[in-house]
Structure 1
Amino acid sequence: MLQYLILPVTQFQQNCSLVWCTATNEAVLIDPGGELPRLLAAVKQRGLTLKAIWLTHAHIDHAGGTGQLAREQGLPIVGPHPGDQFWIDGLPQQAQMFGFPPAEGFKPDRWLSDGDTVQVGHETLTVRHCPGHTPGHVVFHSASAQRVFVGDVLFVGSIGRTDFPGGNHQHLLDAIRTRLWPMGDDTVFIPGHGPEGTLGRERKSNPYVADAA
């Protein structure tokens, strides 16, 4: 069974997700933007074994702690899509610009593409490439748990910004409608900021991507 814990980190209150398989106690961290001691304490408190880092995209609040965490814990970095290479390259500059602690550079051990799968313990999640907020943004979908970790693609009542370099508003709208909506109205999405929601509710009421919009 898939379980998860949301751990808001950094001054941007980015939702880092600790995700694990209850059958094996193997875990991953999705988007460890910072506050690494707190993240590792949550892993230890639950008796989990951290196996990897998964990234939805490479903005500083999502990826700022990745290089250090991977180096210190000997973890592979999985994702995002290669479209975010320039964001990874610019992490040190992003850290300086936004007042974050210095960010270590890194190279993902595995880039992700649309339709790939990733695994934690016995649980398999499907990767969907959802560009728009960044060119290489991906999401992680567990059909069995009816959960999708969407990073900054979709929020309750809103969508990701597209005014950063490489952003594209139409690409984001298309990704939400063609890649998220087919996951089903009852699917719960875990965004990069703010509360969880359901795809069905956003499809009905989100002013940017509702069917009636």
Structure 2
Amino acid sequence: MFQYQIIPVTDFQENCSIVWCDETNEAAFIDPGGEPELLKKAVEKLGVNIKQILLTHGHLDHVGVAAELAKHYDVKIIGPSQEDEFLFTALPQQSMQFGFPYTESFLPDRWLKENDKIQIGNISLDVLFCPGHTPGHIVFIYLKDKIAFVGDVLFKNSIGRTDFPRGNHADLISSITHKLFPLGDDFIFVPGHGPMSSFGNERMTNPFLV
């Protein structure tokens, strides 16, 4: 059975999720942006075994402690799409720009693309390529429980910014309307910041989309 816990971290209150299979206790981080000790304590309290680190996109507030945690747990960093490579090489500049602790550049161990699958114990997450906020942004979905981890593509009553380097508003809207919404109104999602919502709620009431 699929389980998850959302842990907001740093002053940016980005949502880091711990997702796991309760049959095997195998787990993964999604978007560990900061506060590594808080995240380690959460893992210890849950009693799960971190097997991988999953990233939706390359912005510092979502990847800030990925390399540190990968080393601590001796696991691989997976995602996003290679279109975001330029953001990983620019992590030192990002850390200065946004007032984060200095962050060394790194590259994921594996890039992802549309229709890839991520195995976490007996759970399989599907990958959707959803550019716009960044050119290489991806989304993780668990079809059985109708839940998506969408990073900064979509928020409750808002959408991702596209004024960062290589952001594209038309691509973002296309990702939302042609990739996410067709999954169904009853699909719930964990955004990169803020509270959860459903695709149906955002399709009907999001002021940026109606």
User: Normalization by structure 2: what TM-score?
Assistant: 0.98
How many angstroms does 1:73 deviate by? 2.0
Within 5 Å, which residues of 2 pair with 1:132-143?
Answer: 132-143=132-143
Aligned to 1:5: 5
1:77 maps to which residue?
A: 77
**Is 1:35 the equivalent of 2:35?**
yes
User: After the TM superposition, which of the residue ranges 56-65 and 66-75 deviates more from structure 2?
Assistant: 66-75
SS of 1:175's partner is helix
Identity of aligned residues (%): 53
Deviation of the 1:104 alpha carbon = 2.6
What does residue range 51-130 of structure 1 map to in structure 2 within 5 Å? 51-130=51-130
TM-score if structure 1 supplies the norm length? 0.97
Output the CA distance in 2 between the equivalents of 1:72 and 1:93: 24
Q: Amino acid of the residue matched to residue 184 of structure 1?
A: G
Q: Distance in 2 between the 1:182 and 1:21 partners? A: 26
1: CA distance between counterparts of 2:126 and 2:147?
Answer: 11
- Deviating 4+ runs (over 3 angstroms): none
Correspondence 1:206 to 2:206: yes
1:55-89 C-alpha deviation (Å, 9 max, x unpaired): 00010100111111112321100000001000001
Alpha-carbon distance between aligned partners in 2 of 1:72 and 1:25, rounded to the nearest angstrom? 18
* Superposition RMSD in Å: 0.8
- Name stretches of at least 5 consecutive residues in structure 2 with no aligned partner: none
What runs of 5+ residues in structure 1 fail to find an aligned partner?
Answer: none
Partner of 1:184 in structure 2? 184
Deviations 1:102-141 (A, max 9, x none): 2132221110001111111100011001000000000000
State the distance in 1 between where 2:125 and 2:67 align. Answer: 23
Q: Distance in 1 between matches of 2:98 and 2:175?
A: 28
